[in-house]
Amino acid sequence: MAFNLYFAGQQAKEVDEYLQQKNALRLFSQANERKGIEDWRETGHAHKLFIDSGAFSVAHAGKTVDIDQYINYINERTDIPIFVELDVIPFPVLNTQTALECCEASWKNYLYMKERVTNPCYLLPLYHFGEPKDALRRILNTEVNGKLPEYIGIGGRHGVSTEQQDKYFHEIFSIIQKSNNPKVKVHAFGMTVLKLLEKFPFYSADSTTWLQLGINGNIGTKSYGIITVSERGKFNKDNVAALPEHMKEVVEKELNSYGYTLEQVSTDYKARLKFNIDIMYEWAQNYQYKGPKSFISNRLF
């Protein structure tokens, strides 16, 4: 059973073309990645796109997204199947009060957009960490075109431990399981902790991990996890050069099996990106759910 993994983050045209060749899924922000969106549409890959409003990055830059302009942008691109609602981000302060205020503002935006976009079923409502759990129940139980929503988004918990995220997602899926909408598809935003994606029945997720690792001189191997390979960091203790010879041979053998050499990924960041894409794409294609059966007893994939 394949997992719907969306590769996020703007990158060189050569790398984007490689993602297209692999028939991969792609997430772009309409706020600052519109050229990438149009490139994918022009090459016949619009159906592989997932478009974010860009509210998170825009808020951190001290700016805003015009909701009516965003609605017009959506309505002019009916070939793209998923657009995320314009959420309101509690920045620079996140506390109970700002989370509640932004939660209500986000919900108001969702209702406003739902009535104005051409295909309201293509509009993804969001639940964020820190919001009241009743806000999630409200999303699950609000009909779209006479039916409960088929697809929702869940914001991850950035900057906390895997254990804390585990507890958070357990609460989320417990609520979903007990709701009137247990079969809803769930997207995890900005999260590719693979063991959590395997433990909870997410339908999809997006991440820039493939990109951040490569740019910073790293690759994600099946053999030993994240390894630094860039020549710039060859004197770092976690660099592949510091590995015992037998471990280095295992890494090189794994790279060779995908058509790369250690020298390539050490000197060419695009090769690192492509290898990271290969590893994550393969994981998604061979995805296996390993979590509690109780979370999928009423679900369909």
Segment 36-70, tens digit of pLDDT: 999 999 999 999 999 999 988 877 777 789 999 99
Per-residue pLDDT, averaged over 185-200, amounts to 93
Locate tokens 């999928």: which residue?
296
At residue 287, what are phi and psi to the nearest 5 degrees? Answer: -55, 140
Tens-place pLDDT, residues 111-129? 999 999 999 999 999 999 8
Question: Which of 214, 189, 216, 215 minimizes the C-alpha distance to 29?
Answer: 189
CB 80 within 8 A of CB 41: yes
List Cβ neighbours of 300 (8 Å cut-off, separation of 6 or more).
Answer: 183
Exposure of 250 by Cβ count < 10 A (0-12 exposed, 13-18 middle, 19+ buried)?
middle
List Cβ neighbours of 247 (8 Å cut-off, separation of 6 or more).
Answer: 223, 224
pLDDT at 300 over 90: no
Residue 58 CB: number of other CB atoms within 10 A?
Answer: 18
Q: Cα dihedral sign for 30, 36, 41, 47? A: negative
Residue 184, classed as helix, strand or coil, is: coil
What is each CA distance from 63 to 59, 91, 241, 291, in whole angstroms?
5, 11, 44, 40
CB 202 within 8 A of CB 185: no
Query: What CATH code would you report for 4-207?
Result: 3.20.20.105
Whole-number pLDDT of residue 299: 59
Whole-number pLDDT of residue 233: 65
pLDDT tier, 195 (very low <50, low <70, confident <90, very high otherwise): very high
Question: Which of 224, 156, 165, 142 minimizes the C-alpha distance to 186?
Answer: 156
Tens-place pLDDT, residues 234-255? 677 778 988 999 999 999 999 9
Number of H helices, E strands in the chain: 12, 11
What is each CA distance from 171 to 96, 162, 178, 236, 298, in whole angstroms?
18, 14, 11, 40, 17
Whole-number pLDDT of residue 140: 97
Whole-number pLDDT of residue 294: 85
Whole-number pLDDT of residue 279: 97
218-221 and 225-228 strand pairing: antiparallel
Question: Which of 85, 82, 17, 81 minimizes the C-alpha distance to 54?
Answer: 85
Give the residue extent of every domain in the chain: 4-207, 219-301
Q: What pTM was computed for the model?
A: 0.94
pLDDT at 93 over 70: yes
Locate tokens 């997992």: which residue?
3
Whole-number pLDDT of residue 297: 67
CA distance 59 to 216: 25
Percent of the chain at pLDDT exceeding 90? 78
Per-residue pLDDT, averaged over 17-46, amounts to 97
CB 236 within 8 A of CB 246: no
Whole-number pLDDT of residue 192: 82
CA distance 76 to 138: 29
Whole-number pLDDT of residue 171: 96
